[in-house]
């Protein structure tokens, strides 16, 4: 196995497949991933995130920290904060149900760690206003966000302008080095590196510069063929789906091919069922054979109902154990809560210690105890 | 004595002389005043702030809290944070030396209270970005601030954009109601009222809406007659001044009158010594007589050296006991430190309790303890 050496020369963007998978690091590195607790998880979360997390959980020399980014939901849900609590708990049940293991990784809730806010406040002092607002991802997101504020017919909240810096606070103090993100989050990682470099230079600290880990998981289309699987588009298969729900969604899947004339070679370019099989069916030899027969057509062909039946079987094999574990955890809520508490507490301890150290170097611990 | 009733109808700006002085409140109200620990205090601080604080300290039904706003200095002094510690201590010695009493009032350091940052983080969520940046005082201040950031040839820090909201955090949780400020700070108080009103409406809390208390103390000119007494203009008389230093500064004072022809009536409009006597000389009858004689001139006149001698005497009477007390506290640093610790601890306790309550109402205390 190839060893990866982390040094100052390590590029700040590494790619999942070629740089990372099947390799081990030459020392233990801290990895931060996380999710916003905004609703039930679906197949897309599983393929994009959770499956990689499972892989990372068992990768040697990686200490995983799964962040429940509740502040990132809170700012936009001030009117219904009571839903946040159950959203957090439900998301953690989903995590546990796909075999994420709180003994191996830390589950940590942002709002559990008050020191987070203290560091965030300090880091805003290190960030020029112009740099904060020129972040291209932030600009894009601001455009996308509809104004839901009634007060003063106003814009996004001030928190939103600060949130890339609040992410730097998330990463910096527990010394998290690898941060799996999407391409569009790379400006945030670059901001983090700039700020952390500045702190290190000024106070002689040695906080590591984080690296973005880019996943190459192909995007999973919705059951309607839409590019994005999303709750709001009603085209998702949840990790909580029953067999009947799986059947319902798979049967509704769009199979573009039948639109062309019967004599034409079948086109599978927009065939949603095949897109799902590409991702979820592990028997690639059989899949290729099915595609070949489907494209050739006529007496040797495969019918859509056969493909759909196969997909239902595969998805149910994937989801039914998750469903079962979900039931188990719903009946054992103490395990869920303690997984959150313990992970948050672990991370908080590291955080407190490092914040104290930083504040001492900055001389903002006075004569008195803090 | 007239009683002042505080209700929702109380205007949010009250004026020191007509609304406040010689009146008592119908219940105990919390008052926040404070200073940035940016250097030694001088006569202007005494007239503008400390003397009023002394009055408030002994006003019935006012609980005073004197904030040491170290974060407001820190953001602009990241390169020399070690000076902040001594700046805080020195400022508190000045406070103690003018008879501010830590048994009657709380001396509280911003950075001592980590809960401050937690509330600040939350409050940025309640503040529309446009409202934050349209604050007229903030805009003015931004223009005035020279860019001292080397990185990216950049602007003020992100912290600066947030600072009016961070002031709301200062005020809100300890339930401070009266905030003595300059006229230019009124937009900040208005922002505070808006945010606090919003929180109260959304979560059924009852944080009081703060009122600005406007002081009518006339501005004290510098020893050179410049409108502003300021360290950077070298025209200040510090509260630490020795008798010789007082003499030096008073003797250097500009006495405009001698510029006009001897036969003309003396003009005292720009006479710095008279300006100081106006403020510091309590025997107004004698002062009027001096002015009259000075203006009439000739054999009955008063010489500048006589006026200067009088001013030296008056200022030394004011400053020498302060100087003495200063020596005492410098030799009893434990008293200084404990005054800061105790005040900060008192306020922190209130703060923690109220933050816990707010977080519960916002549902960001989960099942677990915090």
Is 80 exceeded by the pLDDT of residue A31?
A: yes
Fold for the domain defined by B3-220+334-361: Rossmann fold (3.40.50)
The residue in chain A having the minimum alpha-carbon distance to the alpha carbon of residue B113 is: A370
User: Are A366 and B154 inside 8 Å of each other by CB?
Assistant: no
In chain A, which residues have their Cβ closer than 8 Å to the Cβ of B80? none
- Give the model confidence (pLDDT) of B220-244 as tens digits: 888 888 877 777 778 889 999 999 9
- The Cβ of residue B157 has, within 10 Å, a number of other Cβ atoms equal to 25
Pick from A86, A143, A157 the residue to mutate for testing the B interface (most B CBs within 10 Å). A157
Identify the closest residue of chain B to A79 by CA–CA distance.
B202
> Contact A314/A277 with Cβ under 8 angstroms?
yes
Return the beta strands (E) in A12-84 as ranges: 13-15, 24-25, 29-35, 62-68
d(C-alpha A23, C-alpha A60), whole Å? 9
How many Cβ atoms are within 10 Å of A168's Cβ, its own excluded?
26
Measured CA to CA, the distance from residue B327 to residue B319 in angstroms comes to 12
Report the pLDDT value the prediction gives residue B366, as an integer from 0 to 100.
61
Strand runs labelled E in chain B:
3-4, 13-15, 24-25, 29-35, 62-68, 106-109, 178-181, 211-214
ipTM of the complex: 0.86
Percent residues over pLDDT 90 in chain B: 46
Taking contacts as CB-CB distances below 8 angstroms, the residues of chain A near B120 are 117, 121
Residue B313 reports pLDDT greater than 90: yes
| Lowest-pLDDT range of A37-46, A262-271, B16-25 | B16-25
pLDDT band at B204 (very low <50, low <70, confident <90, very high): very high
pLDDT band at B184 (very low <50, low <70, confident <90, very high): confident
Q: Which two tokens stand for residue B81?
A: 């944070």
User: Higher model confidence: residue B134 or residue B370?
Assistant: B134
Extents of the domains making up chain B? 3-220+334-361, 241-329
Model pLDDT for residues B270-300, shown as the tens digit of each residue: 889 999 999 999 999 999 999 988 888 777 7
Confidence of residue B193 (pLDDT cuts 50, 70, 90): very high
Is the pLDDT reported for residue A258 higher than 60? Answer: no
| A345 Cβ neighbours under 8 A, 6+ residues apart | A112
- pLDDT at residue number A66: 94
pLDDT tens-place string over residues A52-106: 888 888 887 888 999 999 998 898 888 888 888 889 999 999 999 999 999 999 9
Closest CB to B81 among A78, A165, A364: A364
Q: Which of A363, A251, A323, A318 is nearest to A96 (CA)?
A: A323
Q: Which residue has the higher pLDDT, A32 or A258?
A: A32
Does the pLDDT at position A332 exceed 70? yes
**CB distance A117–B112 less than 8 Å?**
no
Q: Comparing A5 with B188, which gets the higher pLDDT?
A: B188
Bridge partners, A214 (sequence order): A15, A181
Q: What percent of chain B has pLDDT over 70?
A: 86
Q: Residue B37 CA to chain centroid, in angstroms?
A: 10
| Percentage of chain A modeled with pLDDT above 90 | 46
Q: What is the dihedral of CA A112, A113, A116, A121, to 10 degrees?
A: 80
Yes or no, beta carbons of B158 and A363 under 8 Å apart: no
pLDDT at A352 over 90: yes
Q: Is the pLDDT of residue A138 over 70?
A: yes
B272: exposed, middle or buried (Cβ count in 10 Å: 0-12, 13-18, 19+)? buried
Highest-scoring range by mean pLDDT, A261-275, A353-367, B193-207: B193-207
Q: Please tell us whether the domain made up of A241-329 is placed in CATH 1.10.240.10.
A: yes
User: Domain spanning A3-220+333-361: which CATH class is it, in words?
Assistant: alpha beta
Tell me what pLDDT residue A257 has: 55
- Burial grade of B287 (CB within 10 A; 0-12, 13-18, 19 or more): middle
Max avg pLDDT among A280-284, B53-57, B130-134:
A280-284
**B155-164 pLDDT per residue, tens:** 688 999 999 9
At A194, the pLDDT band (50, 70, 90 cuts) reads very high
For B330-340, the pLDDT digits (tens) are 999 999 999 99
CA atoms within 13 A on the CB side of B174: 30
Which residues of chain A are within 8 Å of residue B132 when distances are taken between CB atoms?
158
A193: enclosing H helix or E strand: helix A186-203
């Amino acid at each position: 196995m190839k060893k990866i050496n982390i040094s100052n020369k390590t590029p700040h963007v590494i790619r999942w497949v070629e740089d990372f998978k099947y390799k081990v690091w030459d020392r233990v590195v801290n990895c931060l991933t996380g999710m916003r607790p905004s609703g039930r998880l679906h197949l897309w979360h599983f393929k994009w995130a959770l499956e990689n997390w499972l892989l990372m959980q068992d990768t040697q020399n990686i200490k995983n920290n799964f962040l429940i980014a509740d502040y990132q939901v809170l700012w936009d849900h001030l009117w219904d904060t009571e839903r946040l609590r159950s959203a957090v708990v439900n998301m953690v049940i989903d995590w546990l149900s796909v075999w994420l293991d709180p003994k191996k990784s830390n589950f940590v809730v942002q709002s559990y760690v008050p020191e987070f806010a203290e560091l965030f406040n300090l880091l805003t002092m290190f960030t020029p206003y112009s740099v904060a607002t020129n972040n291209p991802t932030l600009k894009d997101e601001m455009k996308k966000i509809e104004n839901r504020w009634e007060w003063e017919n106003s814009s996004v909240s001030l928190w939103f302008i600060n949130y890339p810096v609040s992410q730097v606070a998330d990463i910096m103090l527990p010394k998290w080095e690898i941060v799996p993100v999407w391409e569009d989050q790379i400006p945030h990682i670059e901001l983090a590196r700039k700020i952390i470099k500045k702190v290190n230079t000024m106070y002689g600290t040695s906080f590591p510069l984080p690296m973005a880990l880019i996943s190459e998981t192909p995007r999973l289309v919705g059951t309607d063929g839409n590019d994005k699987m999303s709750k709001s588009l009603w085209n998702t298969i949840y990790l909580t789906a029953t067999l009947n729900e799986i059947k319902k969604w798979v049967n509704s899947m769009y199979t573009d091919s039948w639109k062309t004339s019967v004599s034409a070679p079948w086109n599978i370019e927009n065939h949603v069922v095949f897109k799902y099989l590409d991702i979820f069916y592990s028997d690639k030899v059989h899949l290729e054979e099915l595609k070949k027969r489907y494209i050739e057509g006529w007496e040797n062909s495969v019918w859509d109902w056969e493909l759909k039946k196969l997909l239902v079987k595969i998805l149910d094999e994937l989801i039914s154990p998750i469903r079962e574990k979900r039931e188990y955890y719903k009946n054992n809520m103490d395990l869920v809560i303690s997984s959150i508490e313990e992970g948050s507490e672990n991370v908080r301890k590291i955080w407190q210690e490092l914040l104290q150290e930083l504040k001492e170097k900055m001389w903002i611990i006075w004569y008195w105890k803090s």
